[in-house]
Amino acid sequence: MSRVILQDETARQAIISDLDTCLLVEAGAGSGKTTSLVQRMVALIKENRCQVDTLAAITFTRKAAAELKGRFQLALEEAFAEESDPVKRVRLDQALGKLGRCFVGTVHSFCSTLLRERPVEARIDPDFGELEELDDAVLRSRAWDDYLLQMQLTDPQALKVLSDIGCDPGELKDFYETLLNYPDVEIVQKAVPMPNFDEIRHELYSFLDWAQGLLPQQVPPKGWDALQKLIRKGIQHRDIFDLEEDLNLLELLSELDRKPGIVKNRWDDPDDAQDALDAFEKLKEEHILPFLRQWREHCYCVLVDFVQPALDYYRDLKDERSKLNFQDLLLQAASLLRDNPEVRCYFQGRFTHLLVDEFQDTDPVQAEVMFYLTGTDLAEKNWYRLIPRPGSLFVVGDPRQSIYRFRRADIDTYNEVKKLLEASGGRVLTLTTNFRSVKAIGGWVNSVFHDVFPQQAIPCQASFASMDTVRFDGKGCDSGIRLISIPKVARNNRREITQIDAEKIASFIYRALHGELKLARTPEENKMGLTENPQPGDFLLLLRYKAYMDVYARALEDLGIPFRIAGGSGFSASREIRDLLHLFQSLLDPEDPIKLLSALRGGLFAVSDDSLWEFKEAGGDFHINAQMPAALDTDTANLFDESFKRLQVYCEWVRTLPASAAAAKIMQDTGIIPTALAGEQGKAQAGYIVQGLEFLASAERMGVTSFAELVSFLETLIDAGIEEEIDLYPWDDQTVRIMNLHKAKGLEAPVVILANPTKGAGFAPSIHISRAGEKPCGYFLIQKRKFYRDEILGQPAGWEHFSQKEKEYLEAEENRLLYVAATRAKNLLVVSIYPDKPTDSPWHLFNKNLTTATVLDDQGSSGMISCEKNESSLKPADMEEARGNFLNHESSINLPSYLDTAVTSLVKSSGSFPSRVMTGRGFSWGRTIHHVLEYCAKKDQDNLDLFIKNVLIEEGRVPEEKEEVLEYVKGILSSPFWKRVMRSKKRFVEVPFGQHVPGSPGNNDTLVSGVIDLVFLEEEGWVIVDYKTDTVKDDEELYRLVDYYSPQLDLYRSFWEEIAGEKVLETGLYFTSVDRWVPLNFEESKQVFYKQTITGGDSSEKR
């Protein structure tokens, strides 16, 4: 069969042949951007335009960088295998040999590389550290708090100036955080005089006097309408508060900035209602709004002047610690290249060819770095005037997918680079062939966006480009567009609409997984063994916003459909995390009864309000050392006594243990992780707790050592939120993915569902950055949150103009977001609609193109039939019997339904333990070595000394053993076995597992649990390691130990292969005392041991 000729074939050929021209490739959705980048990289090597170590490929994320690196290696290997020219084969072979010297990574890591090579010229500490986003958030918060404290001590006058305009310093923290995101932007200020309070006071009083005469004397039967309420509020303020005080008057004017409605039948004369509304609107438009505008413009300079020193304070704090955040890396690299021609020349030789992916979402400073590294004039400091060397720059992006303006991405910069490249002899190529979606989706996308995007690009919007799909719909398979239609809901309640939507979507997915959907597969999917029948991983559920993700997760959970949430607010909203914070806060300040109450009422203690009231009524004192009141009934007294004793123990742990060790021990004692796992969205909720513990441990390694600092760090985590969520089951990729739309860029799925049609996008700009001149200028709206609405504290002069300009950009970006949403689907795009309020939906742009789409019918067989939850097998009679015989051991409710045992118990029950050499160190020595090896397998060894010291404290061992442990472990780390572990592709430590084993007839099922010390992945398969710290005298004793422990490893192998679904290459015992790795052979006869022990052993605990 002849190869299909693509419509963009010429452009694709130019990518691999026109190597001496700078190219900007506008690659549409699904057109193979990464493939084009890799092909260009291979061509540059093969045609001898550069060496692999002078090539730099810059990507948007670390994950993308890892993928690109792997694909580049595979492409080089394939090119080498297919190449017949011996000269080119040598080039490709050399490139493969030096592949590790090729830079492939994010722009931040690239800039870090530049700075670490030339720190002196950059005027930075050569040993600088890089701040991750979360660490940076903590440092920002600390700098702000320290700055406010310093102002109280050294400059109270500055605080008084704020007080005089009615502003609390704490209300400016969000503004401070915003400015920190734009260190390269000049804040435009223009002094504006204070408005005339006497004039506005006169106009207001005149209106209130006149309007008071129109109000009914009695409250209308159905209450006051909105305008009447506003007028009454104004009169009350004048009567109660002193409106001669400017700030009191200002507060009332802010309250009057409303759009009230009228109900004419609630006025004595219906005409009075309209007259009053007209008069109010005139007062507002001619006096209130101009006054408020001038006041806010006057305050703007005052607020900016107060916050700017805080920015310097934060920068000084970073300098003291020799830290650079991501933005600093870019700015410092740009400054290094701009101000040092010799350095620029050096790096242009070091990196001769620069390839940049996802350029549409680049930071503007990245463009500056790009042009300094490729520009021919080494002395030119204005990057706009630089001309790149021919062929030195290759940029890939899709302006129709530029969606990160809120993260400094700027489509103006993209357009500027495009213009500069064309003007300097470069070319702009367009890739329109889409390899992702079937034709039914491609045709629909074109029909929607043909009129949304302009035919020619404008400053705020990319031009339209056709999506030329090549995949056919597939005979007998489902493809195209489908609808989920939600019926009318009383008062159009958003939560109820969302709940119905979630249930319908879960039902659709359930039925699809059970045979009511067929998917046409790509050749790649066929190679992976996928059939027409969908898997959970085939579904991607997208929401415009983070809200209500939990509703959709619960609906999937109710039907037993596995899911994974990404980009939500789950960590911050987690009830368990909040309970943990309240507990920690109470331990930090045990004298505070409010914090104690908060901890007791939380899920960790679950003391009811009735019990709290009874305790207080009986004369109880809310203190952990309080005595139980004599008048308190026994059950309640026992409840409080037990709770207080646990809290006393926790306080002792906080006092004596390292902070993170105390936190971990408290979490273990409360049982918070298994409790979370047993509840709704158990995996996700338990994941948040594990993630929180990991962050707390990492914070301690960074120097956050006291429990108070750790609690403050947890508070910052909750406030900042964590978008990247931990996955407790990383090997299980067959899950429905739930995420917000911004997280979905670059992703795809056979079935994409656009959910939650209840909240459209709102455009209320708060920032406008103009990059029209040589220096970017910033205009910022300063706001605070008050009673569920934003109140403006200050605004720059002319904000209405800048706000309108920004709104144009935001509206244009929203359309690009919808383009991203529409182009993720490979086979089927499902859109949720609420016909009663269609314009409220974030997907309303699609409405006119959905009129002919098939609605998934609840009653039909089109994949949308209501599913019932699995009913519990528990019968009412069982519950009645349980109530009466709960304490009777012979009650059926107390008969075990399964056995619970550990792998180690099974091994021990099979025979006697070989005699061992007694060292006097005890089991805690083995646990110590296990903990340290676990740490070394996960982290570098920079803080190994401190970690060993903390482990010894936690295990109750003497600190003097630290050097012995360190020497012991260093011997292991230098061994060939450990080097093998470090070379592995993936590795997991201390992996807990539980496995259900069916019982034989007449015997209960068994839940076997265990913890695998180390498992790592090599090319051929998984390797399972069990550490043994036994003292070994000779080979004979070693053989006895190996024979004794071997069945344990065989069980680990069996369970891991079933859990992970992948082959185990090797299992073995690592005897740490003699640095000996003993691989084991898997024998079928050992399965006999496994079965006999499960059914006949006496170590199982009845449940």
- Known binding-site residues equal 27-34
Sequence-ordered list of residues with C-beta below 8 angstroms from that of 966, at least 6 positions apart, any chain: 944, 945, 948
Asked whether the beta carbons of 510 and 516 are under 8 A apart, the reply is: no
- Other beta carbons less than 10 A from residue 995's beta carbon: 16
Sequence-ordered list of residues with C-beta below 8 angstroms from that of 154, at least 6 positions apart, any chain: none
Sequence-ordered list of residues with C-beta below 8 angstroms from that of 391, at least 6 positions apart, any chain: 19, 20, 21, 22, 49, 353
Radius of gyration of the chain from Cα atoms? 34
Mapped onto helix, strand or coil, the DSSP state of residue 1089 is helix
Neighbouring-strand partners of residue 59: 106
Mapped onto helix, strand or coil, the DSSP state of residue 225 is coil
Detail the DSSP E strand segments found in 544-618. 563-566
Closest by CA to 755, choosing from 744, 768, 771, 770, is 744
Binding region for ATP: 27-34
Q: Tokens 């020219």 appear where?
A: 85
Asked whether the beta carbons of 636 and 620 are under 8 A apart, the reply is: no
- Measured CA to CA, the distance from residue 148 to residue 170 in angstroms comes to 8
Q: Please report, as a single letter, which amino acid is at residue 887.
A: L
Sequence-ordered list of residues with C-beta below 8 angstroms from that of 644, at least 6 positions apart, any chain: 624, 625, 626
Compute CA distances 439 → 393, 444, 477, 949, whole Å.
34, 8, 13, 63
Asked whether the beta carbons of 643 and 650 are under 8 A apart, the reply is: no
DSSP structure string for 694-755 = HHHHHHHHTT--SHHHHHHHHHHHHHH---S---S-TT---SEEEEEGGGGTT--EEEEEE-
CA atoms within 13 A on the CB side of 870: 10
789-794/782-786 β-pairing: antiparallel
986-997/1005-1017 β-pairing: antiparallel
Asked whether the beta carbons of 246 and 197 are under 8 A apart, the reply is: yes
Long-range pairs for 264-269: beta carbons < 8 A, 24 or more residues apart: 265/220, 266/216, 266/220, 266/222, 266/223, 266/224, 266/225, 266/228, 267/214, 267/216, 267/228, 268/214, 268/216, 269/214
Closest by CA to 947, choosing from 693, 653, 700, is 700
Residue spans of alpha helices (H) in 1014-1066 = 1035-1060
Detail the DSSP E strand segments found in 102-159. 103-106, 129-130
- Other beta carbons less than 10 A from residue 708's beta carbon: 15
Long-range pairs for 446-454: beta carbons < 8 A, 24 or more residues apart: 447/849, 448/822, 448/845, 448/846, 448/849, 449/400, 449/815, 449/819, 449/822, 452/815, 452/818, 452/819, 452/845, 453/400, 453/815, 453/819
User: To the nearest 10°, the Cα dihedral for 118, 123, 129, 133?
Assistant: -110
Residue 740, Cα to own-chain centre: how many angstroms? 10
- Measured CA to CA, the distance from residue 625 to residue 630 in angstroms comes to 15
- Measured CA to CA, the distance from residue 391 to residue 426 in angstroms comes to 8
Q: Tokens 């993260």 appear where?
A: 407
